[in-house]
Chain A
């Protein structure tokens, strides 16, 4: 009798907790329904204002829908560890660069940890890591440990910076987590402008102020490149883009590109001037069509070796419009070593420039940056300083006078939107190393709505089919199983809501499957009861024995399903975890609902003589 009272109490508590956990979801649903019923905007605004707390509270605690149902973006980004380690090394020489290039190729084609590949390569070459990393007295193990720590820090820093960027951009409920030693998982529900977000996340935001070399040197350099290319054009390259060494940044994959008319592929006497034009005033430019080829050319190490010491050829981030409306990208010869980097930037603000049409970003520096900036500008009056962001030149203004205030400005920006994004990335700071998108899944809102409809239909039909089947097959006892089934679904949803997990389409599939599996325990019990009744037992003891004897099979089958679901949850990624989670909760809950709850229902009915032998069909 005591046991029975405990069971009743347990059922009451579980039901109440489940209802309490789902209450905000119900409120949220009815409030938004109420809101959308208003005909005029002022009405709904007034309602929103007067019920603000309740609306916000309900929304916060309600059952969240997954990215696939709401529409949104799921991104996995990888921190470029090779780049990071390269940054950490000192006195880099040709040997080092060669080894790092091997490491880069190997890392991109294998799953092994970058640090293991790196230390393996150095071991192969019989070079101690301490020759390039940290202190000469460190052993290889110590350095490996330090570098591992370094990459862990870099990942966490990258996570914080990306979180800052997203927060400033304004995405509701972003989820950013790290996975392993170099991956970031970013979930952005309801993002509509995917491209903007992608650019916002991807950019390293490495800002550099670099001195421009004189136009004469640029022209001389181009001449030298031209001579070299003429000498080396034994056979005209048929596909210059594919032929060039791969660029470290994910290069534009050629199969995707519409066939671009190839820029001068015949053996020409002036190969470089076919793709780069030089104007009267000494500025060089390339056309939009030749841009990809020029970029690939500039990445070639033999070309880089021909440039004057400590210089680099960079392209402009944005084209200028030529006389015939053509898009022209200026080419700059800049010093490789930056005069100043973005680390000194403390404040950034997007505005419109002096003429009020060109958007620009104003920047302020810290005191150290301010004094350096004053010195640099003072020493270079009349020269040009390029403002380089992530390897592209935004502008290259001529220094008019010494700038003591620590202010600088980025212009050459197309839209205010872009200026705002620059403001965000500059404020959030530069990423410790470049990040790459290695997985992306985005679902548009219309498909999300389809998924919701499909999910609700599946849930409804599956519940209807299974519950009607139970009623037909087991008559009155079927009712008990159906009540248990309803409670089971409620528990699954309430656990999801209570633990702030979200419901995705695979999650709904998990619930649908649970509906079919949850009644299995009842089937096992009822079949056993029928058997006992056939054996001549009276109803009450048949029920007792039925529950008792069926329990071991029920436990076994539930434990195995739980095992499988748990392992799926552990090893699965993303959407599959949602499925595993609901299946797990549902299976565990059905142990309670189909055994404890139905038994209490039977004892209630038995006490009131509402059951007969026929109640089990």
Chain B
């Protein structure tokens, strides 16, 4: 089977449209970040959470009013779709207080619908800020490491454009999390540690597709005149289009499976990675390579090739 065989898309000509498209998406994400902000999960916000699961179907407002009436303050929301509710409140060192308060309130007033507290999480404020810091450190360190590695393997222009593409991908997902946060019952879209893991996965993978395109450009650009660059870039991208899309598709398949089957705890992560890889594939064709092309055109200096093999 062959899809995208011998295509002749003029990617370079459409790059400006792509730039505008990317900027609009990024800008709307950033505006949403500034206006609406992010939904922080318990990891970064701190607090206590209990996950309650009922035997029978029950309405979220019923449970909420029962807890309110019992004087247990906090917020309650649907968690996933299977009769589970997540109750969150301020941090308390002794989660047993919280558990028994919730339990008693629900037992008293909802006698014929048995519930079980299946998960308890409590994160103190100091831990929450620790987690936030290590997340930021991990992100920055991995971007730096990738920049260094790609800079070492390719030319600095290639590496920089690649890292710009990574930023593009991560910021798009971040913006989307802000835009869509709290809109869906079946996926919380909260910023927590797992989303940082998703960002790092996206960062690591975003460069994969980019490297494939770069590799081909590098292979073909040797000894060519700058006036031929446009043709070489276009041909390289078309020649690698098939593998760019197939490699991403296999990962997208896996992530889709995670999204469907792995439950609400993983769903936010799966969503982030899915969108990230989709955007990453787009950006390697429409952002990373065209940026290098524009940069080469403007700087007019010949490409210093590193690490490419002639055979």
Q: Which of A509-530 touch B at CB < 8 Å?
A: 509, 512-513, 515-517, 519-520, 523-524, 527-528, 530
A447 to B51, CA, bound (A): 10
Range class of the A interface residue count = 35 or more
Give the residues from 98 to 115 in chain A that come closer than 8 angstroms, CB to CB, to chain B. Answer: 108-109, 111
> Known: A552-B215, A568-B197. Is A111-B142 also a contact (CB below 8 A)?
no
Q: Which 8 A-B pairs have the closest CB atoms?
A: A516-B254, A564-B204, A438-B124, A557-B208, A571-B138, A516-B251, A447-B118, A561-B204
Nearest residue, chain B, Cβ from A258: B71
* Nearest Cβ on chain B to A586's Cβ, whole angstroms: 11
Chain B's closest residue to A560 (CB) is: B207
- Given A438-B127, A462-B257, A552-B309, verify A513-B251 contact (CB < 8 Å): yes
Query: Does B72 count as interface, using CB distance less than 8 angstroms?
Result: yes
Count of chain A to chain B residue pairs whose CB atoms are closer than 8 Å in the complex:
263
The interface of chain B, by Cβ under 8 A from chain A, is 1-2, 51, 53, 70-74, 89-90, 92-98, 101, 116-127, 129-131, 133-135, 137-138, 141-142, 145-146, 149-150, 153, 193-194, 196-197, 200-201, 203-205, 207-208, 211-212, 215, 219, 239-240, 242-243, 246-247, 249-258, 260-263, 265-266, 269-270, 273, 307-309, 311
Contacts of A89 in B (CB 8 A): none
Q: Which residues of B contact A470 (CB under 8 A)?
A: 250
Which of B95, B215, B254, B255 is close to A553, meaning CB atoms less than 8 Å apart?
B215
Residue A124 at the B interface, CB < 8 A?
Answer: no
Q: List 14 A-B contacts (CB under 8 A).
A: A111-B130, A195-B96, A258-B70, A436-B124, A437-B122, A438-B93, A441-B120, A454-B261, A472-B1, A473-B1, A527-B242, A527-B246, A560-B211, A568-B197
How far does the Cβ of A90 sit from chain B's closest Cβ, in whole Å?
29
Contacts of B2 in A (CB 8 A): 530, 617
A567 in contact with B142 (CB, 8 Å): yes
Nearest chain-B residue to A516 (Cβ)?
B254
Known: A457-B261, A472-B1. A462 touches B118 (CB 8 A): no
Would you call A444 an interface residue if the criterion is a C-beta within 8 Å of the partner chain's C-beta atoms? yes
B contact residues around A580 at 8 Å (CB): 197, 200
Measured in the bound complex, the distance between the Cα atoms of B239 and A531 in whole Å is 9
* Chain B contacts for A530, CB-based, 8 A: 2
Chain A: which residue is nearest B213 at the CB level? A553
Residues on the B chain within 8 Å of A565, using CB: 200-201, 204
Q: Check A438/B126 contact, CB under 8 A, given A454-B261, A506-B197.
A: yes
Asked, given contacts A523-B247, A564-B201, whether A506 binds B122 with beta carbons under 8 Å apart, the answer is no
Q: How far is the CB of B275 from chain A (nearest CB, A)?
A: 14
B263 touches A454 (CB 8 A): yes
CA separation between A465 and B122, bound complex, in Å?
Answer: 37
Q: Is the CB of A194 within 8 A of B261?
A: no
* Interface check A41, CB cutoff 8 A: no
Which single residue of chain B is at the shortest CB-CB distance from A511? B254
Which positions 440-498 of chain A face chain B at CB distance < 8 Å? 440-444, 446-447, 450-451, 454-455, 457-458, 461-462, 465-466, 469-470, 472-474
- A258 CA / B309 CA spacing, docked (Å): 73
Verify B257–A465 contact, CB threshold 8 A: yes
Q: Which residues of A contact B204 (CB under 8 A)?
A: 560-565
Q: Note all chain B residues with C-beta closer than 8 A to A256.
A: 72-73, 89-90, 92, 97-98, 101
A249 to chain B, nearest CB (A): 9
Q: Indicate if the CB atoms of A444 and B116 lie closer than 8 Å.
A: yes
Other-chain residue from A111, A195, A474, A509 in contact with B258 (beta carbon distance below 8 A): A509
Query: Residue on A with the closest CB to B192?
Result: A576
* Contact yes or no, A461 B193, CB < 8 A: no
Is the Cβ of A461 less than 8 Å from the Cβ of B257? Answer: yes
Shortest distance from the beta carbon of B214 to any chain A beta carbon, whole Å? 8
The binding surface of chain B is classed by DSSP as helix
Are A572 and B197 closer than 8 Å at their CB atoms? yes
Please, how many angstroms separate the alpha-carbon atoms of A451 and B193 in the complex? Answer: 18
Task: Indicate which residue in B98, B101, B141 contacts A567 across the interface (CB closer than 8 Å).
Answer: B141
Given contacts A195-B96, A524-B243, contact A513 B255 (CB under 8 A): yes
A523 to B68: give the CA distance in the assembly, Å: 56
Bound: A600/B200 CA distance, A: 33
List the B side residues contacting A562 at CB < 8 Å: 204
The yes or no answer to A416 lying at the interface (CB within 8 A) is no
Contacts of B119 in A (CB 8 A): 441-444, 447
**Is A426 at the interface (CB under 8 A from chain B)?**
no
Given A458-B261, A465-B257, A513-B258, A111:B126 Cβ within 8 A: yes
Decide if A556 touches B239 in the complex (CB within 8 Å).
Answer: no
Q: Is the CB of A78 within 8 A of B126?
A: yes
Contact, CB under 8 Å: B247 / A571: no
Are B98 and A563 in contact (CB-based, < 8 A)?
no
Q: In the complex, are the beta carbons of A560 and B257 less than 8 A apart?
A: no
Nearest residue, chain A, Cβ from B84: A447
A209 near B: Cβ within 8 Å? no
CA distance in complex: A612, B17 (Å): 44
Indicate whether A462 sits within 8 Å of B253 (C-beta atoms), given known contacts A439-B122, A563-B142, A564-B203: yes
Contact A520 B51 (CB under 8 A): no
State whether A465 touches B253 (Cβ < 8 A): yes
Cβ of A252 and Cβ of B97 under 8 Å apart? yes
Contacts of B124 in A (CB 8 A): 76, 78, 436-439
Q: CB of A49 within 8 A of chain B?
A: no
Give Cα A442–Cα B53 distance, bound, in whole angstroms. Answer: 15
Q: Which A residues are CB-close (under 8 A) to B134?
A: 571-573
CA distance A572 to B141 in the complex (A): 12
Instruction: Tell me whether A506 and B194 are in contact in the complex, defined as CB-CB below 8 angstroms, given that A516-B250, A524-B212 are known contacts.
Output: yes
Please give the distance in Å from B95's CB to the nearest CB on chain A: 6
Q: Are A557 and B207 in contact (CB under 8 A)?
A: yes
- Residues of chain B within 8 A of A567, CB atoms compared: 138, 141-142, 145, 200
- CB of A255 within 8 A of chain B? yes
**A512-B257 in contact (CB<8A):** yes
Hey, what's the 0/1 contact readout for A197-210 against B, CB within 8 Å counting as 1? 01000100000000
Which A402-461 residues have a C-beta within 8 angstroms of B?
Answer: 436-444, 446-447, 450-451, 454-455, 457-458, 461
Query: CA separation between A516 and B311, bound complex, in Å?
Result: 31
Of listed A454, A531, A571, residue having the most chain B CB within 10 A: A571
Taking the nearest CB of chain B, how far is it from the CB of A346, in angstroms? Answer: 31
How far does the Cβ of A478 sit from chain B's closest Cβ, in whole Å?
10
Question: Among the listed B71, B120, B200, which residue makes an inter-chain contact with A259, where contact means beta carbons less than 8 Å apart?
Answer: B71
Cα-based distance from A437 to B94 in the complex (angstroms)? 8
Whether the Cβ atoms of B118 and A520 lie closer than 8 Å is no
Contacts of A563 in B (CB 8 A): 142, 145-146, 149, 204
A37: interface (CB < 8 Å) = no
Q: Please report the C-alpha to C-alpha distance between residue A565 and residue B117 in the assembled complex, in whole angstroms.
A: 33
Contact bitstring A382-399, B, C-beta under 8 A = 1, else 0: 000000000000000000
A253 within 8 Å of B (CB atoms)? yes
A560 CB, min distance to chain B CBs, angstroms: 5
Are B253 and A469 in touch, CB under 8 angstroms?
yes
Q: Which residues on A sit within 8 Å (CB–CB) of B89?
A: 255-256
Q: How far is the CA of A560 from the CA of B119 in the complex (A)?
A: 35
Q: Using known A-B contacts A512-B254, A617-B2, determine if residue A572 contacts B97 with beta carbons closer than 8 Å.
A: no
A575 on interface, CB distance cutoff 8 Å:
yes
8 Å CB contact of B92 from A202, A250, A523, A617? A250
Tell whether A548 is near chain B: CB-to-CB under 8 Å.
yes
Q: A552–B214 Cα gap in the complex (Å)?
A: 11
Do B258 and A576 touch across chains, with their CB atoms under 8 A apart? no
